Amino acid sequence: MGVPTSTNDFKNGMTLELPDGLFSIVEFQHVKPGKGGAFVRTKLRNVRTKAVIDRTYRADEKVEQAIIEKKEMQYLYRDGDNYVFMDNVSYDQITVDPTDLGNSANFIKEGDTASVSLHDETVVGVELPASTALTVEITEPGIQGDRVSGARKPATLETGYVLQVPLFIEQGEKIIVDTRTGDYISRA
Per the document, the length of the chain is: 188
For the CA atoms of 12, 16, 22, 27, the dihedral, rounded to the nearest 10 degrees, stands at -30
pLDDT at 27 over 70: yes
Is 131-187 in the same CATH topology as 3-65?
no
Options 2.30.30.30, 3.40.1390.10, 3.30.200.20, 3.40.50.300; CATH for 3-65 is: 2.30.30.30
Q: Which residues contact 91 (CB under 8 A, 6 or more apart)?
A: none
Domain definitions of the chain by residue range = 3-65, 69-127, 131-187
Tell me how far apart the alpha carbons of residues 89 and 86 are, in angstroms, rounded to a whole number.
9
The pLDDT, as a whole number, for residue 150 is: 73
Residue 3 has pLDDT above 90, yes or no: no
- The whole-number average pLDDT for the span 80-94 is 92
Provide the pLDDT for residue 4. Answer: 86
Q: Which fold has domain 131-187?
A: OB fold (Dihydrolipoamide Acetyltransferase, E2P) (2.40.50)
The predicted model scores a pTM of 0.73
- For 158, phi then psi, to 5°, come to -60, -20
**Percent of the chain scoring above 90 in pLDDT:** 41
pLDDT tens column, 120-165? 888 888 888 989 999 999 888 866 655 666 788 899 999 899 999 9
Under 8 Å between Cβ of 152 and 82:
no
Letter for the amino acid at 2? G
Query: What is the rounded CA–CA span in Å between residue 49 and residue 46?
Result: 6
Sheet holding 162-166, edge to edge: 162-166, 152-157, 131-139, 174-178, 184-187
Q: Is 16's pLDDT higher than 70?
A: yes
